Amino acid sequence: MKFDGDYAMTIGGKAVTGSATFDVVNPATEAVIAQAPDATRAELDAAVDAARAAFPGWAATPIDDRRAALNALGDAILANIDGLKRLLTAEQGKPHGDAESEIGGAGMWLKGAATLDLPVTVNEDSAERYSETRHVPIGVVGAIAPWNFPMILAMFKVGPALLAGNALVLKPSPFTPLTTLKFGEIAAGILPPGVLNVVTGGDALGPWITGHPGIDKVSFTGSTATGRRVMQSASATLKRVTLELGGNDPAIVMPDVDVAKVAEELFWAAFRNNGQICIATKRMYVHTDIYDELKAAIVAYAKTVRIGDGAEQGTQIGPINNKPQYDRVLDLIGDAKDRGYSFLIGGEQRDAPGYFIPVTIIDNPPEDSRIVQEEQFGPVLPLIRFDDLDDVIAKANATEFGLGASVWSADEDRALAVARRIASGTVWINETQHLTPLAAFGGMKQSGLGVEGGREGLLEYTNAQTVTRRRS
Ligand code: NAD
């Protein structure tokens, strides 16, 4: 596969360059690196028509053949890992090593999803009647992905949607369209035409998808604010929706941890992917007995971390992906400065190209501060001192979000007891951000609706159908 030149949408198995384009910017340099197709309404209609036409054949394809296709697709991603990772770094900003992990994870995600099964439930098997419930595909799925992990988060949808027998129209973020466009090209060589369509465009395209009468389900990953709009728009035709939204994940660090051992892990829990992870640790509550020691260890480690262009050897943290997000993070830092909070590291702004923000750690800001209450989605971490466990659990839960959380302790039973009191879709103990295609992942409260992953996630791409037969 070639990784330069034209970028085309995949519609009905064909490359469509589109009638208009938009700029794609490298966030490390602010240089325009490519033009992506800006889909018109007619081009989206063509993608939906192609998916509708492909759906009956794909739904009728034996599940083992669909499994084989997903495995082939996963293998093809892995075979193109080098080109895809460079492209991902160029458009997203993340270091090559992280980009390689994401692309590798995307390939493995499809292969992992391919091992799932659709259950059949026998409701009754009596002399009078036989009744069973099976799970049938929904139809055409509109899949909408964000810019922080464009490839793997798209595969969270592609794997189960295709395994269940649906056809797809996939839309990446306008900030990171290129890797997904290349993925569409790869898929066109493996899947029947129309089963997987990739469209790219500006701000109009997402709402066109969520309102499209030819789309039966929307699977959306992005912010809570946009998630609300998606749900509202999908309601017009009662589309099924899965919403994976924002988070404000707390970490609760108990006094019995080995500070030297966990400091580096806790740092990356917050700063991996430059903090642009839905399940990044966004508030770190540290017990007062170890607060000063852990603070010193995290800050000492933070000073060793190299920030730069993700394409340069040795870079550990790249730029923020895009200008609007860069401005949002700077605004939060500005607010913390205006209110006189104490900065342990970072906080300064550079005057050079690229959306770079230094690693910034704020010392014990008040609980009601914006940096504690809002989702920063960037390299700014509030470290917060606690001494009462009930109080810190109440604070962890006092948010509209409920995506992830972590508890850190040498005593697993104690950590488990804390974990069970936290209202979030996932709680990790002594680690964070571990996800697998075999386990359900989703948000409580306003962090989402439904789940991805595992059998539960697969079932969200199906309708339950009960067939009851009377025995004479
Ligand atoms: P976003 O909501 O701005 O955009 C997400 C996607 O939706 C993009 O493709 C965008 O083009 C599209 N979109 C924008 N407006 C739309 C509309 N009205 N209708 C339909 N589609 C629309 O989110 P983002 O800034 O790209 O991503 C960051 C957010 O995503 C953060 O809040 C983060 O926590 C969240 N996120 C959640 C998960 C999860 O699994 N829960 C994973 C990653 C990111």
Question: Does this chain's domain 9-245+446-470 share its CATH topology with 249-436?
Answer: no
Helix, strand, coil percentages (3-state) for the chain, rounded to 5, are 40, 25, 35
- Specify the pLDDT at position 207: 98
Give, using CA atoms, the residue closest to atom 26 of ligand 1. Answer: 146
Report residue 349's pLDDT band, with 50, 70 and 90 as the boundaries.
confident
**DSSP state letter for 210:** H
Which residue, 47, 35, 170, 63, is CA-closest to 119? 63
Q: How far apart are the first and last CA of the chain?
A: 60
Rounded Cα–Cα distance for residues 83 and 75 (Å): 14
Pocket test for ligand 1, best of 175, 209, 223 (most atoms within 8 A of CB): 223
- Specify the pLDDT at position 2: 74
Q: In the numeric block, which tokens belong to residue 189?
A: 């060589």
**Under a CB-based contact definition with an 8 Å cutoff, are residues 6 and 17 in contact?**
yes
Question: Length of the chain, please?
Answer: 472
Judge if the beta carbon of residue 244 lies within 6 A of ligand 1: yes
Rounded Cα–Cα distance for residues 90 and 25 (Å): 8
Domain spans of the chain, in order of start: 9-245+446-470, 249-436
Strands, E, within 352-471: which ranges? 360-363, 380-386, 404-408, 426-429, 441-442, 448-449, 451-452, 462-470
User: How many angstroms from the chain centroid is the CA of residue 470?
Assistant: 46
- Specify the pLDDT at position 277: 98
Q: What is the residue type of 404?
A: G
Pocket test for ligand 1, best of 22, 102, 148, 279 (most atoms within 8 A of CB): 148
Answer whether residue 427 shows pLDDT above 80: yes
Does domain 249-436 fall under CATH 1.10.760.10? My reply is: no
7-56 pLDDT, tens digit per residue, is: 999 999 999 998 999 999 999 999 999 999 999 999 999 999 999 999 99
Answer whether residue 1 shows pLDDT above 80: no
- The reported pTM is 0.98
Pocket test for ligand 1, best of 221, 273, 441 (most atoms within 8 A of CB): 221
Give catalytic residues, as residue numbers.
244
Rounded Cα–Cα distance for residues 89 and 388 (Å): 43
Pairing of strands 448-449, 462-470: unpaired
Q: Give distance in angstroms: CA of 133 to centre of ligand 1.
A: 34
Backbone CA torsion sign across 16, 22, 26, 32: positive
Judge if the beta carbon of residue 247 lies within 6 A of ligand 1: yes
Judge if the beta carbon of residue 448 lies within 6 A of ligand 1: yes
195-236 pLDDT, tens digit per residue, is: 999 999 999 999 999 999 999 999 999 999 999 999 999 999
- Specify the pLDDT at position 472: 80
Per the listing, tokens 């659990």 go with: 393
**Under a CB-based contact definition with an 8 Å cutoff, are residues 262 and 284 in contact?**
no
Assign 3-class secondary structure to 321-384: CCHHHHHHHHHHHHHHHHCCCEEEECCCCCCCCCCCCCCEEEECCCCCCHHHHCCCCCCEEEEE
**Under a CB-based contact definition with an 8 Å cutoff, are residues 183 and 87 in contact?**
no
Q: Give distance in angstroms: CA of 382 to centre of ligand 1.
A: 24
Section 381-399 average pLDDT: 98
Third-level CATH fold of 9-245+446-470: Aldehyde Dehydrogenase; Chain A, domain 1 (3.40.605)
Q: How far is CA 236 from CA 137, 230, 240, 329, in A?
A: 21, 11, 11, 35
Q: How far is CA 337 from CA 328, 333, 379, in A?
A: 14, 6, 15
Report residue 91's pLDDT band, with 50, 70 and 90 as the boundaries.
very high
**Under a CB-based contact definition with an 8 Å cutoff, are residues 194 and 166 in contact?**
no
167-200 pLDDT, tens digit per residue, is: 999 999 999 999 999 999 999 999 999 999 999 9
Instruction: Assign residue 241 a region (left: φ > 0; alpha: ψ between -120 and 50; beta: otherwise).
Output: beta
- Specify the pLDDT at position 6: 86
107-154 pLDDT, tens digit per residue, is: 999 999 999 999 999 999 999 999 999 999 999 999 999 999 999 999
User: Whole-number mean pLDDT of the chain?
Assistant: 98
Judge if the beta carbon of residue 324 lies within 6 A of ligand 1: no
**DSSP state letter for 246:** -
